[in-house]
Chain A
C-alpha cells in the first residue's frame, strides 16, 4: 500500500528555535516529493524534490531528499510565529496521472 508518514504529528517551539520535520514514504514509481505549508486555507507550495542529496533552500527553510532511505526533511531555522502552520509532505507517483498522496501533516506552533 502506498503511504506517506510524517513525524512528529505536532510540535511546539519558541521563536528562534530550529525545527526539523520528517517525511518517509513507500510508493511505487516515485516521481517527486513536495512540501506544502497550510495555514487556514489551501496548501501553499514550498519545495519539490526529485533528486537525492540536493538541498533546496528558500530563506530560512530548506529541504533535502534521500531516495535510498525513502525520506525527506524540512528544516526551519530561526523560527517565527508566522511559521505556525500545518506542514504537509506529499509524494507524486504512478503513471501519467501524476497524482499526489499526502502525509498526515505536522502541526507546528511557534510561541513568542
Chain B
C-alpha cells in the first residue's frame, strides 16, 4: 500500500516559536494532501487541504496565518505552526489521497511549553 511519512514524530517547543512538520508520500505522487489535528480522546478534525502548486484550502475556524501550509512538490507538504502557544499542543496528522482512498502518516505529537 501507499506509504506516508511525517517528520518529526515528536517535537517540544517553547511558546512563541515556530515549528515545521513535514509530510511525504514515499512511493507515489500526491497532488492533494490533508492536514488534521487530534486532541486527546477526540476525533480527527480536518484543518486544511493542501494542493500542489496552489494555495491551501482551510476549514472554517482555522487561522491560515497561524498554520502555514506549503505543498511545493508532488511528494511533500509542510505545515508550519507559527508563534506556537500551549493550546496548539496536539497530535497533527497528514494524509495523502490516492484514487479515492486516504493514507495517513504516523502523526506528529507537538507539545508547546
Contact = CB atoms under 8 A, between A and B. Distances in A.
Interface of A: 31-32, 34, 36, 41-45, 48, 88, 90, 92, 97-105, 107
A65 B76 CA distance: 34
A97 B44 contact: no
Given A31-B100, A97-B32, A105 B46 contact: no
Interface size class of B (residues with CB under 8 A): 20 to 34
Contacts, number: 51
Given A42-B93, A97-B49, A100-B34, A105 B100 contact: no
B101 to A, nearest CB: 6
A102 B44 contact: yes
A34 B97 CA distance: 13
A41 B107 contact: yes
Given A32-B100, A42-B93, A103-B43, 20 more contacts: A34-B101, A36-B104, A41-B107, A42-B104, A42-B105, A43-B93, A43-B104, A48-B101, A88-B43, A90-B44, A92-B100, A98-B32, A99-B34, A99-B49, A100-B102, A101-B46, A102-B36, A102-B44, A102-B45, A107-B41
B100 A99 contact: no
A31 B95 CA distance: 18
A82 B101 CA distance: 25
Contacts of A98: 32, 97, 100
A41 B95 CA distance: 13
A-B pairs, top 4 by smallest CB distance, nearest first, are A42-B104, A102-B44, A102-B43, A105-B43
